[in-house]
Amino acid sequence: MESVRTFPIRRGVFLALLVLAGGGWAQTIGTVPAQNYTAGVSNPAIALTLSGFQANRTLRTMAANTTSGTGQKYEGPGTRIFQGLLPDIVMIQEFNISNNTTAQIRSWVDTTFGTNFSYFREGFGSIPNGVISRWPILRSGSWDDGDDAVSDRGFAWAQIDIPGPRNLWVISFHLKASSGSSNSSRRNAQAQTLVGLIQANVPTDDYLLIGGDANTYSYSEACLDTLSALVDVSAPRPVDQGGDADTNAGRSSPYDWVMAEPELDALEVPVTIGSLSFATGLVFDSRVFSDLSLVSPVQSGDSGVTGMQHMAVVRSFRVDAPEVVTVQVQSSNTTLLPAGNVEVLGSGLSRSLRITPAAGQTGSANVTVTVSDGLATDTETFAVTVAAAQTPFQSWAAGYGLSGTNAAAGSDPDGDGYVNLAEYALGGNPTLATGGSGPTVSTTNTNGTNWLRFAYRARTNDGALVIQPV
């Protein structure tokens, strides 16, 4: 049984700057120096310095009751508004397309949003709610909106596999319309039903977004207070370029909402369209918005055509998504460095490479690293050289700084009469003529017999070395 949510509201909107690819800094891996290894010796991981890549994703979300005409359907104006605003996730009301065949709806989603978008549409009622998503919809359905329900729609819900470790639950709602205390009470009853359904069904570790047409005439309506048990309904709120937050056709009431639970609400970032930035979200009215070339193919009169229901509401949220940063490696010498011997460690922007040359192999290879965050890509190539392991004698000679002919076994660089191999075997110093490679001499008397003792030091940590008196 999954745990479910119940929590008090808190407000914490961070107006973080969103820098899109190409708009602020270059994405780079940094220089990886050439690597020199010794065969058979383990090597530390190589840290990558990743700059400018984004280990996150911005979700542009939209509530839209933008049907027009006399049939409450999505015609040219509403469709163009979607195409111009480029939302990732839509909580859509009055989801009617032509004759509502599956083929017509799928074709409309494909041409309006993209063939990679998923959607859910309620299967009943004359003005059903729905959800449209750039990312996969894991499961979806419709909840009955209670005893005070309206018969032509319910609460459409979808669990979406957004980038990052957490899923997003989206609820698309359309509360009872019209003014008057009776209708306001019915909206509040619907909100109470929705809160109960969310608390019973939505896991606490998923993000939650509620959006759509609340038909609220003021910010003091009881249904908003009810919903505030789960989502933030307080100011600041989305506005148009003139500062107007009202969304009904007459621009006199706050009908439409995108409401996030506290954790997601704290991740809000400005809605950016071209050079324009809307810190608390955007109420889109084509008659007010400028410059319309930024939201092509929207036409200036689209938001005011006959039968246009409401204005669209857009909010953006930025979520951590370390998996969007991918690191790929390729070796030019797969005998020395097979594909599996160059491992990518870590996640997000904290990455390193562990290189393990193949056993018994020496030589060189070029390793090419390609990093991408889905927005930009950079490539870096560095050389790897693997030398044969030194013998114990070679390591000893190198430790004294000997090289070339001076490091040969038969050389005597200090001129003391002991060649290097003898110095090595007897524990001498090949750079010091008085290094004491010779024997120590002592006398002793045993049972009346005098003995002259010659004692040599002998190396015991090299199994290939044999010292034999002659």
Q: State pLDDT tens for residues 100-158.
A: 999 999 999 999 999 999 999 999 999 999 999 999 999 999 999 887 778 899 999 99
Mean pLDDT, to the nearest integer, of 284-307?
98
User: Could you tell me the fold of the domain covering 35-53+323-387?
Assistant: Immunoglobulin-like (2.60.40)
Higher pLDDT: 26 or 425? It is: 425
Q: What residues does CATH 2.60.40.10 cover in the chain?
A: 35-53+323-387
Q: State pLDDT tens for residues 419-464.
A: 989 888 888 899 998 756 667 778 888 888 988 877 777 787 887 8
24: pLDDT strictly greater than 90: no
6: pLDDT strictly greater than 70: no
23: pLDDT strictly greater than 60: no
The confidence score (pLDDT) of residue 443 equals: 86
12: pLDDT strictly greater than 90: no
- pTM comes to 0.78
Across all residues in the chain, what is the average pLDDT? 91
Q: State pLDDT tens for residues 28-39.
A: 999 999 999 988
The confidence score (pLDDT) of residue 437 equals: 63
Mean pLDDT, to the nearest integer, of 208-231?
98
192: pLDDT strictly greater than 90: yes
Least confident of 241-255, 346-360, 385-399, 451-465: 451-465
Mean pLDDT, to the nearest integer, of 368-381?
96
The confidence score (pLDDT) of residue 377 equals: 96
Mean pLDDT, to the nearest integer, of 250-275?
98
CATH class of the domain comprising 56-320:
alpha beta
Q: State pLDDT tens for residues 62-105.
A: 999 999 999 999 999 999 999 999 999 999 999 999 999 999 99
> Please, which residues have CB within 8 angstroms of residue 195's CB and are 6 or more apart in sequence?
226, 227, 229, 230
Strands 35-38 and 377-387: parallel
Name the pLDDT band for 27 (thresholds 50, 70, 90).
confident
3: pLDDT strictly greater than 70: no
The confidence score (pLDDT) of residue 148 equals: 72
Name the pLDDT band for 18 (thresholds 50, 70, 90).
very low
Q: What residues does CATH 3.60.10.10 cover in the chain?
A: 56-320
The number of C-alpha atoms within 13 Å of 10 and in the hemisphere containing its C-beta is 9
- Residue by residue, what is the 3-state secondary structure of the chain? CCCECCCCCCCCCCCCCCCCCCCCCCCECCCCCCEEEECCCCCCCEECCCECCCCEEEEEEEEECCCECCCCECCHHHHHHHHHHCCCEEEECCCCCCCCCHHHHHHHHHHHCCCCCEEEECCCCCCCCEEEECCCEEEEEEECCCCCCCCCCCEEEEEECCCCCCCEEEEEEECCCCCCHHHHHHHHHHHHHHHHHHHHHCECCCEEEEEEECCCCCCCCHHHHHHCCCCCCCCCCCECCCCCCCCECCCCCCCEEEEECHHHHCCEECEEECCEEECCCEEECCCCCCCHHHHCCCCCCHHHCCCCCECEEEEEEEEECHHHCEEEEEECCCCCCCHHHEEEEEECCEEEEEECCCCCCCEEEEEEEEEECCCCEEEEEEEEEEECCCCHHHHHHHHCCCCHHHHCCCCCCCCCCCCHHHHHHHCCCCCCCCCCCCCEEEEEEECCEEEEEEECCCCCCCCCCCCCCC
> Please, which residues have CB within 8 angstroms of residue 125's CB and are 6 or more apart in sequence?
151, 152, 153, 154
Share of the chain above pLDDT 90, in %: 78
The confidence score (pLDDT) of residue 129 equals: 98
